[in-house]
Structure formats: structure tokens, C-alpha cells
Structure 1
Amino acid sequence: MRKYIASGLAALLALSAVLTGCGKGEGDAKGGESSSGGEKKIASVCYVTDMLGDKSFSDIANEGLVKAGKDFGLEVKTIEYGTDKSKMEPSMLDAAENFDLVFFYSGELLEVVQRYAEDYPDVKFVGFDIDPTKEAGHPNVFCLTYAQNEGDFLAGALAAKISKTGTIGYVAGRESPVINDFLVGYIEGAQHADPSSKVAFSYIGDFVNTAKAKELALLQIQQNKADVIHQVAAGAGLGVFEAAADNPGTWTIGVDADQRNFFIDSKPEVADVILTSMMKRNDITLYDIIEKTCDGSADFYGTNETWGIPEGVVVLVENDYYKQNTPQDVQDYVKECESKVTSGEIKVSTAYGMDQDTLNEMRNKVKA
């Protein structure tokens, strides 16, 4: 795997001052020429998503987009198509017509992109959370898979280590390969830390129903005695945090962003049950891809790659709250697991390409 992101966003920001060939004022918004020669510049970037406000995956992607726009002098826009899937294709075509670089996520949008990518040869398309078995299909398309199974191996190991009941929980949105990839890593991490640990798991069916998420989390707490619950449910995950806040002694693990930060001021009682989060650094990844596309060093278009712990884009948050509330020996154990995953000593299974019988056997083995 390529190690594009070495030292995080700070290092990327330090480089921004020396970038050339980006931004308006040096050429047209689409297909302009640089002052030093015929290399195409990127002057506009768009992110196509269902909606912002999830305090998770989409919001931090937008943060990376906005920051890159400011640093590199780019026109930026986020197009939200909402819950009506009939608007997905028109939104993507709108983006392709008006922007140089278009970000999106999900296999459904990839199908749209692959139908039209050839019609927009000067537009670059980047898809996240794409099944690694899928081909990019066009030289102007880059598909990225996050190794969330690696990050959730750490989350599962942590949960098993701090659980007092021996049962941990997992509440997810809609079942899919990417969501099950989290779960596979979570189960393997828990079993690595404590082979006797049990995992209660539930699927909401969508990513917006906070009431159902809370109901499922309460069932895991009250019936299964889960005392650490990991939510992988985007905006619906707020319901999991609320359930934990109503049941003192229950910890939660957030997803995609440092979710404690979102609630410190607005909902401190919710923030205080979020021990850590398993982040997919969409902000850093997006920023990095924009930078490399701007300066002409992007060599990944036309491919599908997987980035995880070694690339620094899948991480378990180690903020002050985590350090204050996690015993040092547990912190050390999680860091040891991280090191072993990075070196390849620990190889985490993935739900991508896993047959249903194998997945069911894994889940049933640890079912609370």
C-alpha cells in the first residue's frame, strides 16, 4: 500500500504554500494551462453526498474539502441529494459538468460515474468506501477502500479489555459489506484481547433513525449486559450515545470522526460516554488527494486502493479524555495491537469477499 499520508494534516498544510498549478487566477476553471507549461490545473472541487449533518463521515469529508479550497484557492461545493435516490444521477452529472474534481462515496454512485466517466475525460472522479473487488474502470476514476476492519480491530480489543461484563455491543446502520467489515474487525479484536468475550450486534436498517438506534442499544445494555457499545450508524448513532448516557457505567465508541468533540458543548452528557472513536480520516485523505491532483503527482487514478492504519487514515482517537479514562496497561495493549497490525504480524480478516456462511459462523460464535 502507498503511504501517502505520513504525518497528518499539519504536514500537508505546511506544504500548501509551495504548491503550484492550483487555483483560479492561473488559468480557466476547467482545463486551464499553467504559466510554466501545458499541465492541466485543478481549479474546482465538488463533493456529492446524501446529506451533511451526520457529525461523522460526510461532515469531516466536507471539512477537508473546505480547508483544501481555502489553502489552494479552489472553488468548492458540496451537493446534497438527500434521501431520494432518483437525485443521485442528476447530482453527479451536475458536478461533472461544473467541476474538475468530484468526490463521492458508495457503490451506487460508482455505477453512475462509470456510465458517464468517458464523457468527461478532463474530470477526475474519486470514490470512497468502494468494494475493493470493483475496478475503477476508467483512467480518470480512483476508487478508495478504507481498511476499517483494521481500525475496528483496535476498537474491539479496547472494548473487550475495559468491559466488566465480558459482553460488548455493536449497533450499525444498514447491513452491507462495508458495515460488516467494521464488525469483522471488531469481533477479531475482541477475541484477540479476550477469547471468552461476547458481542451483541444489531442493525438499524438505515443511518438516520436515532430512536431505533437507542432502542437497540438499550436492549443490548439491559438484556445482553453490554457495557461498551460501538456505533457504526452515522447520524443515527446519536441514539446509541443517548442510551449509554441513560445507563451510567456504559461506554461507547464513536465512528469516522472524533465524535466526542461534536457534543462537548451542545450535549456534554452525551460527550462524556464517548470514550473514543474509530476514525476514518476522510478530511486528511480528501485533502491529500486534492493536493496531489493539483500539483500533478497523483498516480492513483485508474486504480482501486486500500488505505488503513499504515497510511494513517484509520485511527483510534487518543484524545485527553481517552487517556484520562483508559488504564495505562490497556492503552499500551491497544498500541501494541496497532503496531502489530501495521507490521503485518496481525492480519485482520475482511468482510469484502467473505461468503455469508463464514460471516454467520463468526457472528454466531461470539453472539451474546
Structure 2
Amino acid sequence: MRRGMKISLVTLTGAALTLSAAGCGGKKASDSEGGGGKKSLKVGLAFDIGGRGDQSFNDSAAAGLDRVKSTLNITTEEISAKPDEPDADKESRLRLLANKGYNPVIGVGFAYTNAVNKIAKDFPDTRFLVIDADQCKVQGANVLGACFAENQGSFLVGAAAALKSKSNTIGFIGGVNVPLIQSFQAGYEAGAKHAKPGIKILPAKYLTQPPNFDGFKNPALGTEAAKGQLDGGADVIYHAAGGAGIGVIKTVGADKKWVIGVDSDQYNLPAVAEAKDHILTSMVKRVDLAVFDFVKSVSDSTFKPGTKKYDLTNDGVGYATSGNKVDDVKAKLDGYKADIVAGKIQVPSKP
């Protein structure tokens, strides 16, 4: 997206009402009562590439927004990013939301970091959140950056991969070769080696290089990469490729090998229903929790700028147990988690 307990993505509720807008799209406006006297908020959310419905990273953010709607009186507008767009487009999107009175405003994905830092200066009374803040750094008294110890969660699924592999060979597929995804790779490989020092890890495969971000949205790229790693003997493959990972899951599942999902618990995703029996686990990032915490803090007037880290100590990352595929190694995984929390295991963030 989480720990040694079963987790699942918050159930998505409500349908998005499509709004045709200049090059970007999707407005969803609704008011939920039951806020207990809470003030009404207009929340603007700018998705990363793929938007709501990517069945991964963006959907986890959407789930957090849906959870907010069930407890607070809010109006929302959602806008999706376009592939390979410049920072200027992200700035325009955020400025559009702020000018329309949306407060707070959320940018989903590290690519929004520079845009939020810039636009926030022009709207000092608007609160901004960046999910996956680049290098876990943001600027401004009205900006919060949520970042995740994806390397810690990846360590646990890497250990699971090594322990469950019968061919003693595993693989990793990253969407785009950027530092954030390299952190997934680093944790995964470290966890695998810790659990089984003799494990063979195939060279990591990245689907695209920046500034090409198709690696986060094109399933065909994931399909081809998965075929290559299966041919290399891998019987467990972990993807950190967003929407492109759907191709990885389907391909590995069709070959009846183990695949590991990312960001949300991908076990029950309709798009990969045929592969669910081969989804070993998922590394979950609680993006939904970060969105909910932020909006609630604005509503409660407890907002604090800076950065907030979601890691194993606060169950901000972890692993999914849906399908009970890791039951036989769960005790070991939970032991590794405890050692990481206690500082006995230091997880690298770079390969």
C-alpha cells in the first residue's frame, strides 16, 4: 500500500461523477452528513497517473477520501494527471483547485512535490498535502508531506518471497527507475537475503526510465517484463509498478507462480480475479490513512506542517494476509517486523 495482521484496502464507496474539464477530469461532489457538527470542507484531490480506478496507489488515496466522506461533511473534486505531463500542468491543476476554494488540497504522488511547494506560497491560507513527498521533504507553513517506509514493508514481502520460493529464484519489477521505487527494490532484496542468504535474485527490471512514466500505467510493459523474469527461473515476482503491475499479476498468475502486489491489498481486485490464487501477499502502504489523517487534522484545526512518516511502528506499511498464502511463514515475518521496529534490523533504502 502492513504488519502481521490481516489488512485490506478500505472499501471504495460511491461512484465518481465525470466532469469534462480542460484536459483533466473528474469532478465528484457530494455532501455527507453525520459530521457531528464538524465544519464543512471542500477537499480537492489531484491524482497521479491512472487516477481513481488504478486498483493500486491512487485507489488507496481514493479510499481515504471516501472514508473521510463517511465521517465528515465535505465536498470533493478529483482531477487526474496526464501521462508525461510537465510540472507546469500539475501546478495549474493545484492552482485551479485552490482558486475554486478547495481547502485542503491533496497531490497524490511524489511528482507533485515541487508543484505543491510552489503553489502553496500563493495560497497561504490553504492547507496542502503531498502523498509520497519526494525525498520526504516539503516547504511551507501550510504544507504537509506524507512519506512511507516502503523499504520496511518490502523487506517483509521479500522475506516471504524467499521463504516461499521453490526454485530459489525471485524477481523484482519496478515501474519507473526513480529513487522512490528503488527503495522498494532495496527493501525487498534485503528481506529476501535476510530470510534465505542463498536466494538468487534476478537483476531488477524497470519498465521505463524518467521522464517516461508509462511504467506506472501500461500493463503490456508489465506483461513483457514478467515473462522475462519467469523465463529466468523466478517463481516469485514482486511488482512496484502501479497500474502496469496488473500485467505482471496476470502473467505470473497464468504461469501458476507466486506474485506479490503493491500499495493496496491486491488479492480481491476484479481486474486480476483469475490470478488471485497466485497472489502471495501485497506490500501495503496506508495512503488511505495519510489522506484521512490530513483532512481530519484540517477539520479539527490540528494541522501541523512538515512531514509525517508512516512505517512499521505505526502500521503505516506492512503486508497483506488475504488468501492465507503466507500463514506458514507469518511467525517469521512478524519476528522480522518486531526486529525492525526494535532497531535490530536496519533496512536499506537504496539497492
Q: CA deviation at 1:114?
A: 1.8
Q: Secondary structure at the match of 2:313?
A: coil
TM-score, normalising length: structure 2: 0.83
Query: Are the aligned partners of 1:132 and 1:306 in contact in 2 as well (CA < 8 Å)?
Result: no
Q: 1:76 to 1:116 in 2, by over 3 A?
A: same
Match of 1:213 among 216, 222, 226: 222
Q: Find the counterpart in structure 2 of residue 115 from structure 1.
A: 118
**Preserved contact between residue 239 and residue 245 of structure 2 (Cα < 8 Å):** yes
Structure-1 separation of matches of 2:177 and 2:125: 35
1:246 positional shift = 2.3
**CA distance in 2 between partners of 1:9 and 1:188 (Å):** 26
Considering only CA atoms, is the larger Rg found in Structure 1 or Structure 2? 1
CA contact (8 A) 2:148 2:317 kept: yes
| Percent identity of paired positions between Structure 1 and Structure 2 | 30
Superposed CA deviations along residues 263-289 of structure 1, whole A, max 9, x for unmatched, are 3xx543222221211110111221122
Answer yes or no: is the 8 Å Cα contact 1:157–1:193 preserved in 2. Answer: yes
Per the alignment, residue 95 of structure 2 pairs with 93
SS at match of 2:226: helix
Compute the displacement of 1:152 (Å).
Answer: 0.2
Misfit runs of 4+, over 3 Å: 7-10, 16-21, 105-108
Q: CA RMSD in A?
A: 2.1
1:32-181 aligned at under 5 Å gives the runs 43-49=41-47, 50=49, 51-83=51-83, 85-86=85-86, 87-98=89-100, 99-132=102-135, 134=137, 136-181=138-183
The reply to whether residue 272 of structure 1 matches residue 277 of structure 2 is yes
Structure 2 counterpart of 1:13: none
Pick the aligned partner of 2:259 from 248, 252, 259.
Answer: 252
Equivalent positions of 1:10-21 (< 5 A) are 20-21=37-38
Q: 1:242 aligns with which of 222, 241, 250?
A: 250
Q: TM-score, normalised by structure 1?
A: 0.79
**Shift in Å, 1:316:** 0.2
1:263-302 residue pairs with structure 2 within 5 A? 263=270, 267-299=272-304, 301=305
Q: Which amino acid aligns with 1:147?
A: A
Q: Find the counterpart in structure 2 of residue 186 from structure 1.
A: 188
Quote the residue 1:34 is aligned against. Answer: none
User: What amino acid is aligned across from residue 297 of structure 1 in structure 2?
Assistant: T
CA distance in 2, matches of 1:305, 1:68: 19
Classify the secondary structure of the residue corresponding to 1:259.
Answer: coil
What's 2:17 paired with? none
Equivalent residues, number: 311
Which residue in the other structure is 1:355 paired with?
none
Q: Would you say the 8 A contact 1:19–1:295 is kept in 2?
A: no
Instruction: Mark the CA change 1:296 to 1:20 in structure 2 (over 3 Å): closer, same or farther.
Output: farther
Give me the whole-angstrom Cα distance separating, in 2, the residues matched to 1:84 and 1:327.
41
Cα displacement (A) at 1:209: 2.1
1:342/1:219 CA distance change after superposition, 3 Å: same
The 5 A counterparts of 1:341-356 are 341-351=340-350
**Are the equivalent residues in 2 in contact too, given 1:117–1:138 (CA < 8 A)?**
yes
SS at 2:98's partner residue?
Answer: helix
The structural deviation recorded for 1:84 is 5.1
